[in-house]
A and B are shown apart, each in its own frame.
Chain A
Amino acid sequence: MAALHEEPAEVAAVQPDPEAGTPPPPPAVPPAAAPAAAPATVVEGEATGAGGDAAPLKPAAPGPAASPAALDRQTLVAVLQFLRRSNLRESEEILRREARLLGDDLGATALSPTSAGLLGGSGSEADSGEALLGRGSGAAAVAIGGSVAAVATSSPGVAAVAAVPPGKVGGVVVVEDQPDVSAVLSAYNQQGDPTLYEEYYSGLKHFIECSLDCHRAELSQLFYPLFVHMYLELVYNQHESEAKSFFERFHGDQECYYQDDLRVLSSLTKKEHMKGNETMLDFRTSKFVLRISRDSYQLLKRHLQEKQNNQIWNIVQEHLYIDIFDGMPRSKQQIDAMVGSLAGEAKREANKAKVFFGLLKEPEFDVPLDDEDEEGENEEGKPKKKKPKKDNVGSKSKKQDPNAPPQNRIPLPELKDSDKLDKVMNMKEAARRVRLGPECLPSICFYTFLNAYQGLTAVDITDDSSMIVGGFADSTVRVWSVTPKKLRSVKTAADLSLIDKESDDVLERIMDEKTASELKILYGHSGPVYGTSFSPDRNYLLSCSEDGTVRLWSLQTFTCLVGYKGHNYPVWDTQFSPYGYYFVSGGHDRVARLWATDHYQPLRIFAGHLADVTCTRFHPNSNYIATGSADRTIRLWDVLNGNCVRIFTGHKGPIHSLAFSPNGRFLATGATDGRVLLWDIGHGLMVGELKGHTDTIYALRFSRDGEILASGSMDNTVRLWDAVKAFEDLETDDFTTATGHINLPENSQDLLLGTYMTKSTPVVHLHFTRRNLLLAAGAYSSQ
């Protein structure tokens, strides 16, 4: 059951293309090849800003040298134009001399629709468009670690062209990171009769509506991408009124979950608007992925051939990626569950990579330390606890999870003594943990932020639930101690030198009692703080902000240690690795970055999302990172090599919360559509849908043993779901695994264990204490 990419043979069959035989120009890497090339593109953060100027030149150079074909002339012209606009006169001169291209020739190649046909040199207008598309998509197919083409920028306007953020372009594979916008747009230089577009579309609509039921659902997937691309073509070619009427006539047919995109689209009415419009670039640079059974696809192909409907066929060829599978067509429900993202579904092979989702082996502890504590507990009169716990510890460390990655797959920091102590504490607490289940629901404590004046934007709670941090819209980060123990900073250097370092309580002595307070305010950011994260050892705190930086704070001195610059745009989320040292951040620039606290530049850049990265989470084994995005997809990235190993589609709105199950097998995601989706990481499948919330879900958390999933939302409720039951009888038979066709249970209500109202307080954060008490946090909002 091989996936069919747009094979040249197919293209030739449909449309006698004189250029079909010519080898594709170098930059035009077929999308399928992208993943192969991708691993090399992981950047170890050394790129310089100067790369921005040089980059566009390099990929273009082979163009003229390769062949004098019209296609390459076109490429060259585009590059020359770009150079001229960027005021790189010298480079332009050199290039022109080398290419022996005449100046007046260049002058004629403005962005006018006619010029494309002129340069194309072939009789058919469609052909020239075709050729351009090939080039355009090649330029755009910069998959840095991704299998879908990505443009790793988001800066609107002209900035998108010139400003290549440093650290984005790898030294290994030199690709044209920033496709010249005009070149991309010129892909729409079609010369089809604008008045016929409506006819084409309604013809296809009629055909699909009259097809057999089993095919209709599948073929209906075509409506949306076709609609978008036809509309954009009309707009690009300045048929404003036709575009308007086209939109008016057919936008009602589209699925409701595309409303947001349609709204953006409807505001695009002029060619000028298309430049710098991110959504437009997304449609253009990424192929919309559809999964269609072979039968349905044949039906469609036959129809289009009969009708000689080249316009539509071109779009299908150039802008859509049709993932063909053998077997029964999918039902409407099956399709609806999976679609909704900005670029259609994930290709099946995108989720085929092996993922080591098992947990790492827990390190052995110093037995005496453990024992001493145990005995202390024994004296308190709980001798029985000892045995089962010991067994627990033993079994955990002995058993090697078959799905776990090698222990040293990625280097992890050594455990310090204090870490070990904490682990022991953790285990002791775990022994007293409440066993949750449908019969035994957790108690919920609510941390209400008072007088936050609508400014609370992020919350985190330490693993041992001793501190809570709030990020605020007024750029402050505030740390509270929620235990009677107050927050103290270390003494000044001068005072420290006076301390007797040999004394037993030196750790006590270094603290400055005068600074003890319940609350510490950290100043440093210059914009709303959108994400905060405590380090596992509670010595550090991360915060990310609209100002484009991630800051590392010391919780010993309550000062800022490092400001990590790299995202030049708002950073939406950041999180420490469960083992510390590493952390991840994601932002408006559409990439997620992996950092280590002692490197001021990122170790990995995960690019591939088509819109903002809104939330980031580490896998419990620290080998993977999940990112949720405004493009309505979730991606799982391999920390080791930067590859994207999973793409999950199905949400109908931007994703705002992620949670891995404690055993690492499952992922829960929440979005603005008010639904929680559950994913099996190993198989790369959606395994559940939890409906109930009426607003964006901002917080998701599994209980410590994974029995309960808690979700918190803007709708002022916390809901508890039966996670055991949700994952219980998964039909992971070979067929489902192979095809990705899932059948979700109709009703998720039997999984809902409870709905808990807050007092008009949106739930921003959820946390299970080590004993499985559920902590929720949010700011009281009077409205």
Chain B
Amino acid sequence: GHKSSGVGGGREERRFVELPRDSVRLMAESAGLELSDEVAALLAEDVCYRLREATQNSSQFLKHTRRRRLTVEDFNRALRWSNVEAVCGCGSQDSLPFRPLREGDLFFPEDREVNLLELALATNIPKGCAETAVRVHVSYLDGKGNLEPQGAVPSAVSSLSDDLLKYYQHVTRAVLGDDPQLMKVALQDLQSNPKIAALLPYFVYVVSGVKSVSHDLEQLSRLLQLARSLLQNPFLSLGSYVGSLVASVLYCVLEPLAASINPLNDHWTLRDYAAMLLGRIFWSHGELVRGLYQQILLSLQKVLADPVRPLCSHYGAVVGLHALGWKAVERVLYPHLPTYWPNLQAVLDDYSVSNAQVKADGHKVYGAILVAVERLLKAKAQQAPGFGGPEGSPRHSPPGQDPLPELGLGRPLLPGGAAAASSSSSSSSPLSPSLRDMYRELYDFFGDSLAARFGTGAPAEPPSPPGAAEGARKEPPAEGAARKMPQLTNATVSPRDEEPPPPRPERPALHRAPGPPPRPRGTPRAPAGHRPGARDVFQKCRFAPRGPPRFSFVIAGRQTGRRCPGRRFQTNFPQPPAAALGSRYAQRLPMIGRTGRAPRRWPRAEYSLLLLL
């Protein structure tokens, strides 16, 4: 019985739906009748019996229709043959959610309101269902084996009309062809055409062709654009094809593509684009496939944890995580950083010529990680209650003025200044410990470059210090692709790379050392990044002393410039290790001093590299 599920008597074993007499009485009342208890009970019992009978009869229709699932239609047929009025309005294929109302023991089917006006005036008239058709295929030859592999994409989903076939051919030709204008038109149409549902499996299949064209960046990006168009089409229900699309996109994100062998190929852009797509799929269609998120995370994590993988794969994993949102970063990247760091550090610390390419890749990864964790920090900071509002600005404005004095170092411009800026406010900030800890930990890794990122986030007038400017100026020649990066993730240096970076388990480096002394102060800087007022102050304090204002540019380049010296100092001047063994605060002070000198050294290193090359 689909009508009502009430609670019957106190029988232990209830095999059937039982209708409580209250329901009967309610029904009677709605018809204007008063029923005595006795009558209601009798009626209820009889109704239950009739319901059972009708249900049993309806199963006959089910069997003869060769189906597995009983439909409302079956039940109605049974009712009709018993000379009972059929129940109307329940013919939908989907089950109607049956809701109880807490107060009043009411049960009702949830019925959406349909705006007839909208329906009537809708401009895009849905295409009718596909025609029923018969297709034949040889399934088993001489009783042996399937000729067709039992692929993931069922061939029996739909058949194509001639029109659709033509459309498909034209579109694929246009997308993969030479004419960019044509491609644009085709992609545009794919995004909006309401009638291509039947072609979906075919297009998905085309997209899965990425695996066969991994040598051709152009084709890869076109296929990804095709996927994007499919995703954007509001008339397509991707359903189970999401999995297939994700697999294709993940391939572009993670795999060491054949195209990446040539350092001139900008596969980084492709990976960024693919990662963006991944995020888009997840955000818009993630609910279609259960556990999709977990699956993606798992595969990203696997790649990240695999030291044998080339750095470009790691890069893909990081940007992928970034695209999936800060939670993914927090869940996968953040806990993995301590183990991952030594490897990266090793790559970055190797200045041999043969390592140049790998090193450049390493910088890309570094930049990507940095962007990811900063996003994480921002999100965390935003979440932290009471963080942004009242305390934020007062906290930050004072530090704006005093970074240099506080640091007491020769070089006032440096990230250290930023760190200092935050330091002043940190004492008062009631941040959630997790954020604070997180920042502390991250700061351990990134040093001041982390803080700097917050500062430079503003598009306006960051006056760049001569040191930084110098670095920036030099970087472009050093790494030609750097210009591109900002558009993408705005966090990546782009040395192209061909050699797969050998996993170097060199010394675990002293990266832990660079923690700036006022670590807790660093935390409040996170909000500075997204709060204009705070940012201004912060920027001023950092850059003003140094001279002419500059626009933020080549962020990545600057970061590396700033960051590397930070590290390099540690490695070059091993005096602090003694301090490093001490408390964190103890280490930090000397560190800051050193980082202050970094910019100078960095360019030098660059030069040497260039010369050698």
Contacts and interface: CB of A to CB of B under 8 A. Distances in A.
Interface in A590-644: 612, 614, 630
B158 A451 contact: yes
Nearest to A546: B77
B134 A448 contact: yes
A470 B52 CA distance: 32
Contacts of B53: 156, 267, 277
B159 A444 contact: no
A264 interface: yes
A761 B140 CA distance: 15
A584 B129 CA distance: 36
Nearest to B54: A156
Contacts of A148: none
A758 interface: yes
A757 to B, nearest CB: 8
Contact of A753 (B81, B82, B143): B143
B131 interface: yes
Contacts of A478: 132
B428 interface: no
A387 B46 CA distance: 74
Contacts of A167: none
B52 A759 contact: no
B144 interface: yes
Contact of A569 (B52, B81, B142, B159): B81
Interface in A443-458: 443-457
A656 B83 contact: no
Given A157-B83, A267-B16, A448 B66 contact: no
Contact of A480 (B57, B83, B134, B154): B134
Contacts of B142: 440-443
Among B15, B131, B140, B154, the most chain A Cβ lie within 10 Å of the Cβ of B140
A448 B135 contact: yes
Nearest to B154: A759
B65 A270 contact: no
Interface in B509-560: none
A445 B137 contact: yes
B382 interface: no
A447 to B, nearest CB: 5
Interface in A134-156: 156
Contacts of A443: 138, 140-143
Nearest to A279: B56
A482 B156 contact: no
Contacts of B73: 473
B63 to A, nearest CB: 7
Interface in B94-146: 129-144
A470 B135 CA distance: 13
Interface string B144-181: 10000010001111110000000000000000000000
B499 interface: no
B68 interface: yes
Contacts of B46: 270, 272-273
Nearest to B12: A248
A296 B488 CA distance: 91
A533 interface: no
B132 A444 contact: no
Contact of A450 (B45, B52, B63, B134): B134
B290 interface: no
Contacts of B81: 156, 569-570, 588
A612 B59 CA distance: 13
**Which of B65, B77, B132 has the most CB atoms of chain A within a 10 A radius of its CB?**
B132
B205 interface: no
Given A759-B150, A762-B66, A450 B130 contact: yes
Given A277-B53, A780-B156, A756 B140 contact: yes
Contacts of A277: 53
A672 B63 contact: yes
A558 interface: no
A208 interface: no
A267 B49 contact: yes
Interface in A411-462: 440-457
| Chain B: interface size category | 35 or more
Contact of A270 (B49, B57, B143): B49
Contact of A453 (B66, B129, B150): B129
A482 B83 contact: no
Contacts of B69: 454, 783
Contacts of B158: 450-451
B56 A264 contact: yes
Contacts of B68: 714, 762, 781, 783
A444 B143 contact: yes
Given A159-B83, A264-B56, A272-B46, A448 B143 contact: no
B60 interface: yes
A630 B60 contact: yes
B63 A656 contact: yes
Interface in A750-783: 753-754, 756, 758-762, 764, 776-777, 780-781, 783
Interface string A473-487: 100001010100000
B11 to A, nearest CB: 9
B507 interface: no
Query: Among the interface residues B134, B139, B140, B156, which one has the most CB atoms of the partner chain A within 10 A?
Result: B134
B64 interface: yes
Contacts of B141: 443
B239 to A, nearest CB: 10
A759 B156 contact: yes
A528 interface: yes
A289 interface: no
B2 interface: no
A451 B132 contact: yes
Contacts of B143: 441-444, 720, 753-754, 756
A440 B143 CA distance: 8
A711 interface: no
B39 to A, nearest CB: 14
Interface string A55-89: 00000000000000000000000000000000000
Interface in A679-703: 696, 698
A488 to B, nearest CB: 18
A530 interface: yes
A267 B140 contact: no
A572 interface: yes
A468 interface: yes
A472 interface: yes
A714 B65 CA distance: 11
B159 to A, nearest CB: 5
A448 B156 contact: yes
A654 B63 contact: yes
A446 B140 CA distance: 9
Contacts of A157: 82-83
Contacts of A672: 63
Q: Which 10 A-B pairs have the closest CB atoms?
A: A441-B143, A444-B140, A267-B52, A780-B156, A451-B130, A446-B139, A443-B141, A450-B133, A444-B139, A448-B156
Given A443-B143, A714-B68, 14 more contacts: A157-B82, A270-B45, A440-B142, A443-B140, A448-B134, A448-B136, A449-B133, A450-B157, A451-B130, A478-B132, A482-B136, A777-B134, A783-B68, A783-B69
Interface of A: 156-157, 159, 263-264, 266-270, 272-273, 277, 440-457, 468, 470, 472-473, 478, 480, 482, 519, 527-528, 530, 546, 569-570, 572, 588, 612, 614, 630, 654, 656, 672, 696, 698, 714, 720, 753-754, 756, 758-762, 764, 776-777, 780-781, 783
Interface of B: 15-16, 45-46, 49, 52-53, 56-57, 60-61, 63-69, 73, 77, 81-83, 129-144, 150, 154-159
29 contacts: A156-B53, A157-B82, A263-B56, A264-B56, A270-B45, A273-B46, A442-B142, A444-B143, A445-B136, A449-B132, A450-B132, A450-B134, A450-B156, A451-B132, A451-B133, A454-B69, A470-B134, A478-B132, A482-B134, A528-B64, A546-B77, A570-B81, A572-B64, A630-B60, A754-B143, A756-B140, A756-B143, A776-B139, A780-B157
